[in-house]
Amino acid sequence: MSDLADRMLFLKQRLQQAYDGIGHSHGRPYVYFVYPPEQERTVRRLVDEELRNEASLTFCHLDVLSIVLQSTAGQEARREQLLADPVKGAGAADSIMRLWARRVADAITTTLQPEQSGRPVIVLRGLAALHPLGTPTSMMEALAEQEPRDPRTNKVIPIVLLVPGVRPAQSSRTYLFLGQERLRQSFYRGEEV
């Protein structure tokens, strides 16, 4: 079994066995699954095979790429103008990231159904779409303000982030988003698998 398959199986077992404890030691129930960007297809296949609904868990898969594209559709020219403006550029990027985080939060809320049989787990894929304006870390910082909750129990629910990147050797709680050193990030209050 490959390292990715082993880690995916461990993730599934962790969600099954320690659902309520996910993220307690780090303050948020976020689980970062960092994988080499060139392994995107393999990870998508593993996610489709392993993270499927079962009696105890209901997986809600959201594609951040689709959410990003829908939330900025028809605004490309205006977005380019704002980002090109040296005075407004940084603020515009932050504003767009907050918009994307709100749209992801809205999608999570819409996806959660009170009549689901298992405990919900959100799986975010397509996170490369955040580049160049943001990273998974910056999105989770913004999303933390709208903590998703199980509509049946009102408990905070785990969010799994499928992050294309590299975990540097001899480092903890750090990843290189998209495998780029200039995009070195720390995990935002979550755990890694």
Task: Note down pLDDT in tens along the chain; length 193 residues.
Answer: 589 999 999 999 999 999 988 877 777 889 999 999 999 999 999 999 999 999 899 999 999 999 999 987 766 666 566 556 665 556 777 888 888 999 999 999 999 877 778 899 999 999 999 998 889 998 898 888 777 888 888 888 999 999 999 998 887 788 889 988 888 888 777 788 8
Written as six digits, the tokens of 158 are: 């785990």
pLDDT for 28 = 85
pLDDT for 72 = 79
Does 132 sit behind a cis peptide bond, omega within 30 degrees of 0 on the bond before it? yes
pLDDT for 88 = 56
> How many other β-carbons are positioned within 10 Å of the β-carbon of residue 82?
17
pTM: 0.89
pLDDT for 83 = 56
pLDDT for 5 = 96
Written as six digits, the tokens of 155 are: 């408990």
pLDDT for 66 = 95
* Mean pLDDT, the chain, whole residue set: 86
Cβ atoms of 159 and 124 closer than 8 Å:
yes
Could you list the residue range(s) of the whole structural domain that residue 70 is in? 3-192
How remote is the C-alpha of 20 from its chain's centroid? Answer: 19
Q: What is the dihedral of CA 111, 102, 126, 181, to 10 degrees?
A: -150
Question: What is the number of domains present in the chain?
Answer: 1
Give the residue from 99, 178, 86 showing the smallest Cα distance to 132: 178
Q: How far apart are CA 165 and CA 173, in angstroms?
A: 13
